[in-house]
Amino acid sequence: MINFSINKTLFLQALSTTKRAISSKNAIPILSTIKIDVTPEGVALSGSNGQISIENFISIKDENAGLLVTSSGSILLEATFFINVISSLPDVTVDFKEIEQKQVLLTSGKSEITLKGKDADQYPRIQEMAASNPLVLETKLLKQLINETAFAASVQESRPILTGVHFVLSENKELKTVATDSHRMSQKVMTLDKNGDNFDVVIPSRSLREFTSVFSDDIETVEVFFANNQILFRSEHISFYTRLLEGNYPDTDRLIPTEFNTEATFNVANLRFAMERARLLSNATQNGTVKLEFKNGIVSSHVHSPEVGRVNEEIDTSAVAGEDLSISFNPTYLIEALKAIDSEQVVIRFISSVRPFTLVPEGNEQGFIQLITPVRTN
């Protein structure tokens, strides 16, 4: 029967991280619990929603944890409730003791709280993976790739494969990351410092967003392991599993145009704020679009909602070249594309009013390109 004592604050942090994989509204009731496995080496906390699983290990060697294990064992506890109880405790230390019939007695200061738990055998097995030959990535780099692409993935389940982000490693060091919802696309191509085994996987964008929340910036590197239908991101204390999407990801390379007729360079923030103003009114129009006009080297944005009103605005450019153009599109796509760009300036290139246009950060040493499809109006 389990018996350990631990620093309350550190325990709560580890529980909150694990909780990110746990939904209180899961169709499988047992998945609303958190699994606690205690061994002489430390305490492992596991949670899963069937898609993502997180295991967080607190070692007896971690000085901040003040962990003292007297007796080992496993138990399940209702995750949300257990975390609320731990966070309410008065003292800096919690004693966690399993008593008769899968009950846990928590003691902290003068407070004694008894909670009913469940048999750990009821918990589904989190798939173990053969931990060999991982790809080692900087956490910061992986989070940047996710920020630059995952937002462009589809949120609709009509084409499930498009709800994921396509990660491809070829020639052992060429990493391509791409997402598209068929209206816009975001792609980043880069060369890794170290070689790795080639792979071609589609990771649910929702899992990737959770990844960025779970792996804090103080975790420098993350090991990536692949199995048939799963991927594991692992740091010293945290194992983050997610299922992969099955199916063939569309060939996005052929979508990227190479010849253009109009080109302009904008300040990213200025253009984004202009699009946010335009969106206030485009939301009240039938097709929800803003019109961008290029005329004699002047760029301007226009929205006209018969009910609400209109926006007309000249947008500053640092360079304009090529043919005059008038093109309409959903301003949200441009706003989200601009949010993903870290540079101060962006170069936008157009073919015509009916062909996708591209965005690249000025300089574009980073191999980062985005595509937005216009809307035909008339």
Q: Which is nearer to a copy of itself, 199 or 273 (CB)?
A: 273
Cα–Cα nearest to 150, from 120, 122, 185, 190 = 185
Q: Which is nearer to a copy of itself, 50 or 309 (CB)?
A: 309
Q: Which is nearer to a copy of itself, 3 or 212 (CB)?
A: 3
Tell me the C-alpha distance between 174 and 163, whole Å: 23
Residue 15 · residue 34 · CB < 8 Å: yes
In the bound complex, what is the minimum distance in angstroms from residue 302's beta carbon to a copy of itself?
A: 10
In the bound complex, what is the minimum distance in angstroms from residue 111's beta carbon to a copy of itself?
A: 4
Cα–Cα nearest to 362, from 378, 346, 342 = 346
Residue 320's alpha-carbon distances to 258, 264, 278, 295, 303, in angstroms, are 18, 4, 21, 10, 22
267-289 burial string, b = 16+ CB within 10 Å, else e? Answer: bbeebbebbeebbebbeebeebb
What token pair was written down for 6? Answer: 């631990």
Q: Which is nearer to a copy of itself, 124 or 297 (CB)?
A: 297
Provide the CA 151 distance to its chain's centre, in angstroms.
Answer: 8
The amino acid sitting at 176 is K
Q: Which is nearer to a copy of itself, 223 or 313 (CB)?
A: 313
Residue 149 · residue 178 · CB < 8 Å: yes
In the bound complex, what is the minimum distance in angstroms from residue 99's beta carbon to a copy of itself?
A: 11
In the bound complex, what is the minimum distance in angstroms from residue 81's beta carbon to a copy of itself?
A: 7
In the bound complex, what is the minimum distance in angstroms from residue 89's beta carbon to a copy of itself?
A: 7
Residues that bind a copy of itself (CB under 8 A): 78, 81, 84-85, 88-90, 103, 110-116, 270, 273-274, 276-277, 280-281, 307-316
Q: Quote the radius of gyration of the chain (alpha carbons, Å).
A: 25
In the bound complex, what is the minimum distance in angstroms from residue 48's beta carbon to a copy of itself?
A: 22
Tell me the C-alpha distance between 263 and 261, whole Å: 7
Q: Which is nearer to a copy of itself, 87 or 156 (CB)?
A: 87
In the bound complex, what is the minimum distance in angstroms from residue 348's beta carbon to a copy of itself?
A: 18
DSSP labels, 269-282: HHHHHHHHHHHHHH
The amino acid sitting at 352 is S
Tell me the C-alpha distance between 145 and 80, whole Å: 31
Half-sphere exposure of 289 (CA within 13 A, CB side): 15
Q: Which is nearer to a copy of itself, 83 or 179 (CB)?
A: 83
- What pairs with residue 325 in β-bridges? 294
Q: Which is nearer to a copy of itself, 59 or 103 (CB)?
A: 103
